Amino acid sequence: MNNTELKTYRLIIKGKVQNVGFRHWFSDLAISLGLNGYVQNKGSKDEVEAIIQGDMQCILSITEKSKNGPDLALVEGVIPSNIISNVTYSGFIVKYETN
């Protein structure tokens, strides 16, 4: 994939999305779609943030699927935003809080 096809998006997923397996569900889906980046809990108990990079069709697919999430999640909204990034991610990871 050349850089003109490489898009980077930030998703904020709101609702009951922490302590329900959302990050691992999202990571597995991102990997299956060939996306790179990371997913992490936000400080708020009702938000998860994901940085995803790859083909636009795959980004649209994971954005749509995130509106439902895994079985235990109760997603209230997904806010996507296109970001300009000089970083090229390699692989997809779940970030854990360090504090």
Residues tagged active-site? 23, 41
Q: Which amino acid is at 7?
A: K
Burial class (CB within 10 angstroms; exposed 0-12, middle 13-18, buried 19+) of 64: exposed
Which structure tokens are listed for 10? 């930030």
Whether the CB-CB separation of 26 and 39 falls below 8 Å is answered with: yes
Nearest to 17 by CA among 59, 66, 56, 75: 75
